[in-house]
Amino acid sequence: MNKAFTKENDDAEDEEQLPAAFHLPPGTKNYITPTGHAKLKDELEFLIKVDRPKVVETVAWAASNGDRSENGDYIYGKKRLREIDRRIRFLNKRLDIAQVVDPELQQNQTQVFFGATVTICDEAGESQTFAIVGVDEADVTRNRISWISPLARALLKAREGDLVRFASPVGVREIEVVEVAYLALEA
């Protein structure tokens, strides 16, 4: 059967290409900070207003050159267009279910909730500071962990001075919550 007459399952394809850490639990909101929300909206706007029109123009030019079967610009352009469209669909879905939570507006600042910046100390006495953020804005290099990560889930509702146990890749660890703060995150 010709591929032109088959329907692709775009929803499954969009999710399949994401690492497992980016999959939201079924039926949950996509909690996100204002900074993360703005970043997703900016990316979506760039794809729609700048990137996609530029690729469409290239594909139209390449198509006007004749034989499309051996036209690298046309073939690559069509592939890039599919990637851009897939990303646009994904971003639209994520933004549709987004629940923006501003850490600075948190009422109970003594307990760990979404948006908290938490300083912890492990058994070896080493301390680390993490911000608990949305799935789409997690970045370990910037000490931002997803609210669905094992560490963040273990820290939720903890208070300063609490000992928390959680399963890590190296086994069960115990950490102490040293400080809880709710700060604005830079982009």
Q: What is the pTM of this model?
A: 0.78
Q: Following DSSP, what letter does each residue of the chain receive, concatenated? A: --GGGSPP-HHHHHHHTS-GGGPPPTT--EEE-HHHHHHHHHHHHHIIIIIHHHHHHHHHHHHTTS--TT-HHHHHHHHHHHHHHHHHHHHHHHHHTEEE--GGG-S-TTB--TT-EEEEE-TTS-EEEEEEE-GGG-BGGGTEEETTSHHHHHHTT-BTT-EEEEEETTEEEEEEEEEEE--PPP-
From first to last of the 187 residues of the chain, give the pLDDT tens digit: 444 444 455 554 555 455 555 677 777 788 999 999 999 999 999 999 999 999 999 889 888 887 777 778 888 999 999 999 999 999 999 999 999 999 888 888 899 999 999 999 988 889 999 999 999 999 999 999 999 999 999 999 999 999 999 888 888 889 999 999 998 887 6
